[in-house]
Structure 1
Amino acid sequence: MKNVTTRLAVSLGSLLLVGAAQAQENRLYLFNWTEYMDPEIIEAFEEKYDVEVVQNYFNSLPEMFAKLNAGGVSQYDIIVPSNYYIPRLIETGLVQKLDKPKLSNLGNVMEQFQNPSYDPDSEYSAPYQWGTTGIIYNTETFPEAPKSWSLLFDPEVNPSHPFALMGDGQVSMGSACAYLGHGYDCTDMSGWREAAQLLIDTKGRDNFSGFVDGTPALQQLARGVAHVGLSYNGDYLFFKEEDPETFETIDFMLPDEGAEMWVDAMLIPSEAPNPDMAHKFIDFILDAEIGAQLSNYNYYASPNAAAEPHLDKVLTQPPVQPSEEDMERLRFTPSLSGDQLQNFQQLWSEVQAR
């Protein structure tokens, strides 16, 4: 009986392993920002590769990073972080190098995104979309709003109307740095300390409504819960096109003191269940027509040079394509590591705690 039981256990174990392998081959787990993928693209990919795409969502990069560290590194096949988190993901071993021979469409990427500072030689990442982070505000409340971060940080400009800051510490700190004249991409301790104090003072105002990330901030403005916040240019245009009546009185601006330009990229976690299918997905998104379809759906700029002839006209003008003047003032959020990251996290913890 013992031998029979052992053989039965081995057989059942083999069947379970085969079943698990088949489940991985037939599924792709995508961890992405909310409202950031055309459902028709997912359907087309599922049909082409006879696979089921399971989508999960995050609203901020700290949320994504925390989930990966809590076991998500073995639960997702594709993640879509922003540029300044990519070095952190690489250094902590949470992502794997791309197998470039599997990416036939990699050559479609614009030259400016082919050897980025956040991932030299694009060893780990392929660009997904790019855009900007700016101020969203109610134009009826602020008919003569200054093109400035003062709409958030100066109590004389906004003495009483509810406003929110972004929950991503580096974005909020960068905004404060820019307002204070240190530049959005400030990384020196003296500038950070001054920015942190400004954020603490700003939090103490009666009309501060909290830390709210991009898409929820737009929803708050639509409901009238807040009158000023931070969001992304593509999210803003997406909501405005979907519901022009509600968003008629909401506008987006890039402050003259400087603001964020970002790139979101596709990476494969180090323990992804289905890395082969993940490469197929990345290559699918890098296709010229699919890349254009993605941007035409979510209203963000495409890093895909081959997609340009297929883009809608609205994607070639502000707010998706910033003006030349605004482009000159845009900066990447800096990538932090080591003591610099530790110092920043300590300051940001103080901001949140007070």
Structure 2
Amino acid sequence: MTNRRKILQGITALSSLSLTGCGWKLGDVRANAKSSSQRDQISLYTWAQYTDKQLLKTFSAQTGMKVLADTYDSNDVMLAKFQAGGGGTYSIMYPSDYMVQKMVEKDLLAEINRDRLIGLDNLLPRFQNPSYDPNNRYSIPFNWGTTGLLYNSEIIKNAPEDWDYLWQNQTQLHKRMTLLNDVREVMGATLRMLGYSYNSKDENQIKQAYEKLKVLKPAIAAFDTDAWQNQILAGDLVLAMCYSADAIRVSKENPHLKYVIPRSGSSLWTDTIIIPKTAPNLDGAYAWINFILQPEVAAQVSQRLSVATPNRSGFEQLPKQIQNNTNLFPPESIVEKCERITPLGKFEDIYEQYWTKLTSG
């Protein structure tokens, strides 16, 4: 999970966006932001693909604030730097859902002042009270997606419907499939296939998942989160476990590549925006969040990054073709079967022990 967006492409130019006529103007924020001691600058710590220069320039032109952005390629890297004292310069950060929980537990996040937000009611209902952060007390959802299987329909004629397809077709898929290099995703999918929760804290269930994966391992080409994309485009692979955003982007290059969300359920992830307690420019932070909450911006982010926007008004501005893309916006019947991966405290050591046994040697 932590590296899922590492190779996504950046958002293209957004400077032509019209940001008025939505009940507010970013220019109105400028006056408020000038009350800050560091009103002329805001620093972000974010995923590399979220730092499109034109997006930053648009915000700067509307608010008068210069935007500085540093990037990371995993939640763990972000947290480690922050805890080591390197996060004090940032007013905005982009942790994933489960990392929000960890950061709240470590008392690193400022509570969101909802009175300073404009457009929060634009969010879809399921994102207004998410399980990882009830009532969005510490975070604002930025985008979301699922985990599933991407396969080459020219070679695989019978579409995979569930995770058990991998075991049932192990001979056909031998050394031509990859699983994510992520313990919670791979163990979670196997647990789900067995009828258990992605977030099981029953060691006997974890062992059952391990035993199933041990049977499958000889057929797996690699546990990989990134390199599979070029390999499946080259024809070296016929199937890959992957994140929806990556799958949709890759399938644009080869329409024979099809994405499927397993019917027994999968993982559901959300990237968020938070304000650290050490934020040097609170006014700038709220200006940035209000900028991102605008429907036009939300729609453009969804189109360019191939991720599902949690912004209802932004969704309504998307072309019908994108709105009806069930890989991007799966039906409620599928979403209901999906689970968010949640922190499990010290029990995560059990997952790691079995994962090390599986992947070593």
Identify the TM-score tier after normalising by the shorter chain: 0.7 to 0.9
Paired residue for 1:212, among 221, 224, 232? 224
How far the C-alpha of 1:46 sits from its partner, in A, is: 2.4
After TM superposition, list the pairs within 5 Å mapping 1:278-293 onto structure 2: 278-293=285-300
User: As a proportion of its length, which structure holds more helix?
Assistant: 1
Structure 2 counterparts to residues 284-303 of structure 1, below 5 A: 284-303=291-310
**Do the aligned partners of residues 61 and 314 (structure 1) sit closer, same or farther apart at CA in structure 2, a change above 3 Å counting?**
farther
SS in 2 for 1:266: strand
CA distance in 2, matches of 1:53, 1:217: 34
| CA displacement at 1:31 relative to structure 2 | 1.0
Q: How many residues align?
A: 324
Residue-by-residue CA offset, 1:171-210 (whole Å, 9 max, x unaligned): 111111122232444342221122133334444x1x4333
Equivalent position to 2:234, from 199, 207, 223:
223
Shift of 1:316: 1.9
Choose from 235, 250, 274 the match for 2:246.
235
| TM-score normalised by length of structure 1 | 0.79
Aligned with residue 140 of structure 1, among 154, 176, 192: 154
Kept in 2: contact 1:299–1:315 (CA 8 A):
no
The answer for the alignment partner of 1:332 in structure 2 is: 340
Q: Which residue among 107, 118, 131 is the counterpart of 1:104?
A: 118
3-state SS of paired residue (1:134): strand
CA distance in 1, matches of 2:195, 2:229: 27
5+ residue gaps, structure 1, are 1-20
* Distance of 1:110 and 1:324 partners within structure 2: 12
Partner of 2:131: 117
Question: Retained in 1: the 8 A contact 2:122–2:312?
Answer: yes
The residue aligned with 1:313 is 320
Closer, same or farther: CA 79–352 of 1 in aligned 2, 3 Å? farther
Q: Does structure 2 retain, via aligned residues, the 8 Å contact 1:29–1:78?
A: yes
Alpha carbons of 1:168 and 1:159: their partners in 2 closer, same or farther (altered >3 Å)?
closer
For the pair 1:276 / 2:280, whether they are aligned, the reply is no
Question: 1-side partners of 2:81 and 2:135: how far apart?
Answer: 27
The structural deviation recorded for 1:135 is 0.8
Correspondences of 1:153-172 after superposition (within 5 Å): 153-154=167-168, 156=170, 158-172=172-186
Native 8 Å contact 2:94 2:273 kept in 1: yes
Matched, 1:28 2:40: no
Q: Deviations over 1:46-102 (max 9, x none)?
A: 222233434444444444444444545335433323222221121123333223333
Which blocks of at least 5 consecutive residues in structure 2 are unaligned?
1-36
Answer whether contact 1:41 1:294 (CA < 8 A) is retained.
Answer: no
1:189 aligns with 203
Cα contact 1:127–1:303 (8 A) shared by 2? yes
Q: Which amino acid aligns with 2:222?
A: G
Let me know the Cα RMSD of the aligned residues.
2.9
Measure the CA separation in 2 of the matches of 1:36 and 1:87. Answer: 22
Q: Is the 8 A contact 1:60 1:167 kept in 2?
A: no
Q: Output the amino acid matched with 1:79.
A: M
| Counterpart for residue 7 of structure 1 | none
| Aligned AA (2:343) | L
